[in-house]
A = this chain, B = another copy of it.
Amino acid sequence: MTRRRHDLESLLEVAVRVYTERGFDGTSMGDLAAAAGLSKSSLYHHVESKEQLLRLALDRAVEPLFAVIEEPESVAGRAIDRLEHVVRREVEVLVDRLPYVTLLLRVRGNSETERWALDRRREFDHVVAALVAQAAVEGDVRADVDPGLVSRLLFGMVNSLVEWYDPKASSALDASALADAVVFQAFDGLRSPG
């Protein structure tokens, strides 16, 4: 049981790397077996299909991202504070699950699992847009902004981390310092006050 779990874990790491490099469409079970150093029949012993493996990998990103929006600080209080909490925690999840979130953000949507992932991303965007709209009602965000546009720009900034954040770089900030920098830039902007 422990052995089996360990194997699935390593397999997921391999799959997420191969899918991110070649795309899901461009990857066969044969490619996955080769990358994992397994025979195809051993691979089928662990998983039914490359789509099942994709789903398991995407769950590693989707589950913690959605867990964040159910945290107490995300559901109670002023909307601007809830939004700030969501942004901060998403940065932390992104750092913690970097390869899985990277895969989630590159999904294009040709299979059932990819469409499921895109639906989850849209659902998440709606939650954030609703928080922005509520913050505008409460007077904490300018009322003349479009909440949908604001959330896309906000998460455009957050999600760009997958393009350049390298936790192994000597200059890399840890998750908490990175989250501080993102929250500050997003909520207070570049310009110094006064």
Contact = CB atoms under 8 A, between A and B. Distances in A.
Interface in A126-185: 132, 135, 139-142, 145-146, 149-150, 152-161, 163-164, 173, 181-182, 184-185
Interface of A: 23, 26, 80, 83, 132, 135, 139-142, 145-146, 149-150, 152-161, 163-164, 173, 181-182, 184-192
B181 A186 contact: no
Contacts of A26: 26
25 contacts: A83-B190, A132-B190, A135-B190, A140-B191, A141-B190, A141-B192, A145-B185, A146-B181, A150-B190, A152-B164, A153-B157, A153-B182, A154-B157, A154-B190, A156-B159, A156-B160, A157-B157, A159-B160, A160-B160, A185-B186, A186-B189, A186-B190, A187-B189, A187-B190, A189-B190
Given A181-B145, A191-B140, A163 B153 contact: no
A88 to B, nearest CB: 13
A187 B153 CA distance: 13
Give the copy number: 2
A85 to B, nearest CB: 14
Given A26-B26, A189-B185, A156 B163 contact: yes
Nearest to A148: B171
